Structure 1
């Protein structure tokens, strides 16, 4: 495989990776928003002395507080970390794609220069 074909293949692969990562990023952002919207469900139904009271209600309320803390950790810390990692990888892929495009342009220019040189040499021999 020629060098140019190899570069074009790498470019195509990186562009596909970028496309898939952007889709993943968008889906995760949507899920994070949905996750945050559903966080309020952890506190429902509200417990009062009329609805439920006693040791079991206190234990249940303690579990719900832990679930709320876990919800916040997942949505604010863990998902944000994953989204940041994806954003960093997207930037990295964009830079790799730009470098490949520069290399492709340079290789095409080199090939055109060689063709031009060979064409001039063949005309000179005639």
Structure 2
């Protein structure tokens, strides 16, 4: 069986992204390696054992491929990643209380409730909750 072990998002500042994803969103640090030359290898994951094998790599987003890709997604209003939540209304309130800027408030989108926020690191992120 093949399973997803790691996926990544390009960010404009790995240190700032690490702070946002851990301190604001509540992810936990899985790896934080200094590779030298101001290069960090940082992964985060769901807290409390939720999806213990799945890591999100915070990848440096500069460069001839990453920067135009990240910028194009953002300018088109397309989230770079989708996270699932159990209670979208509660997460929306928690995150707005922490200063997170949502570009789309919670709304129905087919089989899910969805909202989109700015991760402060050059990306839009979507939260979804399956409808009952």
TM over 0.5: no
TM-score under structure 1 normalisation? 0.19
TM-score w.r.t. length of structure 2: 0.19
Larger relative contact order (CA 8 Å, sep ≥ 6): 1
Report which of the two structures shows the higher radius of gyration computed on alpha carbons: 1
Between Structure 1 and Structure 2, the one with more strand by share is: 2
Q: Name whichever structure is richer in helix by fraction.
A: 1
